[in-house]
Amino acid sequence: MKNPLDSLWGTVICGLILTLILHNVIAHALGG
């Protein structure tokens, strides 16, 4: 499997997915 960080857009998509995951973790922790 190719490393997504080798591609600029793979990097951006990974960043967006990580944002979504962390958003949900914090929203849950804040009781939202």
Partner 1 sequence: MDWVPAISRWIHFMAGVMWIGLLYYFNFVNVAAAKAAAADGTGAGISKHVVPRALFWFRWGAVVTWLAGASLLSRHFLDAFLFLNKAYYPIGIGAWLGTIMLFNVWVLIWPNQKKILGMVQATDEEKNKARRVGFLASRTNTMLSIPMLYFMAAGGHSALFFG
Instruction: Say if CB 16 and CB 23 are below 8 A apart.
Output: no
Footprint of partner 1 on residues 1-32 (CB under 8 A)?
A: 3, 5-6, 8, 11-12, 14-16, 18-19, 22-23, 26-27, 29-30, 32
In Å, the largest CA–CA distance within the chain is 37
CB of 28 vs partner 1, minimal distance in Å: 10
Tokens of 24: 């949900």
Instruction: Say if CB 11 and CB 5 are below 8 A apart.
Output: yes
| List of residues contacting partner 1 (CB under 8 A) | 3, 5-6, 8, 11-12, 14-16, 18-19, 22-23, 26-27, 29-30, 32
